[in-house]
Amino acid sequence: MSADDLQSLIEDATADFALGESEAALGKLERAVAADPTCFEAWHALAEVNFSLRRLDPALAAAERAHALRPADLFINTTLSRIWMERGDKTRAEHFGTQAKLQSWKEQLKEPPR
């Protein structure tokens, strides 16, 4: 699958999810990660869709795969924080929440002062 095909599949899955077709979205995202296990965007989307469906184990597994690919990403750290909070592990939730804040601050520091 080409990079463009992969991106189109992820976009289609996102549209499916937005239209309430969660199972179709999950199927497309599973195809995307099978085609390219290094695709951060597909793993992150898979985590978010599963989380929204309260499927915490698959959400966590997908989020951990995404995190392994981009540990400094603000959004995956936020996703992991939300998943761990929902699972009742405040310590882990706070850890990933802190990582997300640090990444946010780093991004802010890159911007030139006004």
The model carries a pTM of 0.86
Sign of CA dihedral 63, 76, 27, 8: negative
Token code pair at residue 35: 């085609």
| Tens-digit pLDDT string for the chain (114 aa) | 888 999 999 999 999 999 999 999 999 999 999 999 999 999 999 999 999 999 999 999 999 999 999 999 989 999 999 999 999 999 999 989 988 888 888 777 777 777
- Total structural domains in the chain? 1
Please give the angle made by the CA atoms of 58, 85 and 24, to the nearest 5 degrees: 30
CATH number of the domain where residue 69 is located: 1.25.40.10
Other CB atoms closer than 10 Å to residue 13's CB: what's the count? Answer: 25
Range of the domain at 69: 3-110
Instruction: Give, as one character, the DSSP assignment of residue 111.
Output: S
Q: Structure tokens of 20?
A: 């309430």
For residue 72, the 8-state DSSP code is T
